[in-house]
Amino acid sequence: MDLETVKDRAGPRAFSPADDLPQEYREAATRMIEFHANSEIMGAYLERPFIRQAPSIDRKLAFSAKVQDEIGHGQLLYRAAESLGVKSREQMLADLANGDGKFLNCFHYPMESWVETPMIAFFVDGAAMRRQATLRRTSWEPYAHAMDKVCFEEGFHVKHGEDILQELMTGSRKERQLTQEAFEKWWPRIIQFFGPTDDDSTHHDFAASVGLKQKSNDELRNAFLDQYIPKARNYGLEIPDEPRIRERDDGTYEVEEGDLDWDEFFAIAKNEYEPGRDQIGGRRAAQEAVQWVRETIDETIARGHAPRAAD
């Protein structure tokens, strides 16, 4: 199948591993899905410390389940990417550990206190749902199938984050103040979650032409602002003065994109941002810590003995 045929046929769940697809499509889909899988894994590593820091047993259980879900999403997406035949799951995990794998900007920043958790669990996961809902119609069928499960579970994650935000914003004056400060710190990063503006997006045109993407970065960003600015205000959060947000005559919103730090964003995109390298180093250390387990399993299989589950 040539590229023009792919573009003509591109539609919801149009292609499967049985199709003879051009290499350009396979590489573009692999890059997109690998980025998504890496982001699920790195998001889980960012939130993992808050399993212990959560203020109640219910919150600890919820965070534990959320982190487990995110790791599962990553593994599911690596398999969807692997089915394109460009890179193996092992290669993608190795690239993530050595700093070659790319992932979402928000997960390059450290998260230091409990009041920051709804910035990820509500706002970032809410932004993710805007994007992921459209990916249920992506043209690579294994990716679309994976997104059915991911979207179902992410819906619970957003409710979990919203519940934390509500608790904080109906708590003490100090809790409300600290949550507002966290929101002001994270707000520009959250807006940049959707990637560069359409004019500066490198891969959008091709991905859209073959059905991998359904909406542009700016379309998704504006839809998020329309939905989440009223929600933030409803919980008592004040929208920061920077970046400037314009309200149109029809009541929808758009951001003054020149107010955002795009130099920092593109440094993040190249894994050149210092805190992001720390995050990658943490992931690499975790992978190296269990390397002996993988080696033991491989040696056992090589000797002709399949590993058995514990009794």
Cα–Cα distance for residue pair 153/147, rounded to 1 Å: 10
DSSP states along 162-174: HHHHHHHHTS-HH
Residue 308 lies in a domain: no
DSSP-assigned states of every residue in 7-44: HHH--TT-B-TTS---HHHHHHHHHHHHHHHHHHHHHH
pLDDT in the model for residue 115: 96
Higher pLDDT pick, 299 / 171: 171
pLDDT tens, position by position, 144-203: 999 999 999 999 999 999 999 999 999 999 999 999 999 999 999 999 999 988 888 888
**Taking Cα atoms as reference points, which of 65, 52, 45, 253 lies closest to residue 159?**
65
What is the average pLDDT value for the chain, to the nearest integer?
91
Which of 66-70, 124-128, 184-188, 293-297 comes out lowest in average pLDDT? 293-297
* pLDDT given for residue 311 in this prediction: 44
Tell me, yes or no, whether 309 lies in a domain: no
Q: What is the pLDDT of residues 117-154, one digit of tens each?
A: 999 999 999 999 999 999 999 999 999 999 999 999 99
Q: Which two tokens stand for residue 308?
A: 């058995």
Q: Is residue 68 part of a domain?
A: yes
Is 307 a domain residue? no
pLDDT for residue 273: 76
| Domain contains 138 | yes
Question: What is the residue range of 255's domain?
Answer: 3-302
Higher pLDDT, 282 or 238: 238
pLDDT for 239:
96
Report whether 120 contacts 66 (CB < 8 A): no
Residue 158 Cα distances to 4, 35, 74, 122, angstroms: 39, 21, 18, 5
3-state secondary structure of 243: coil
Please state the pTM of the whole predicted model: 0.89
Q: Is residue 142 one of the residues assigned to a domain? A: yes
User: Residue 309 pLDDT > 60, yes or no?
Assistant: no
Q: pLDDT band at residue 101, thresholds of 50, 70 and 90?
A: very high
Establish if 156 belongs to a structural domain.
yes
Supply the CATH number for residue 250's domain. Answer: 1.20.1260.10
Could you tell me if residue 273 is left (phi over 0), alpha (psi between -120 and 50 degrees) or otherwise beta? Answer: beta
Question: What local confidence, expressed as pLDDT, does residue 195 receive?
Answer: 92
Mean pLDDT in residue range 223-241: 96
**Contact (CB, 8 A) for 212 and 21:** no
Q: Is the pLDDT of residue 236 over 60?
A: yes
Check: CB of residue 211 under 8 Å from CB of residue 191: no
Q: Which residue has the higher pLDDT, 227 or 8?
A: 227
Residue given tokens 């059915």 in the structure block: 148
- 296: phi then psi, degrees, rounded to nearest 5: -65, -45
pLDDT band of 308, cuts 50, 70, 90: low
Beta bridge partners, 254, equal 246
Higher per-residue confidence, 112 vs 290 = 112
User: How many whole angstroms separate alpha carbon 88 and alpha carbon 46?
Assistant: 25
| Rounded distance between C-alpha atoms, residue 90 and residue 117, angstroms | 30
Q: According to the model, what pLDDT value does residue 302 have?
A: 81
Helix, strand, coil: what percent of the chain each, to 5? 70, 5, 30
pLDDT at 204: 86
**Is pLDDT of 13 > 90?**
no
Of the pLDDT bands very low, low, confident and very high (cuts 50, 70, 90), residue 84 is very high
- The β-bridge partners of 246 are 254
Q: How many domains does the chain have?
A: 1
What does the alpha-carbon distance between residue 144 and residue 142 come to, in Å, rounded to a whole number? Answer: 5
The answer to whether position 24 is within a domain reads: yes
Mean pLDDT of 206-213: 93
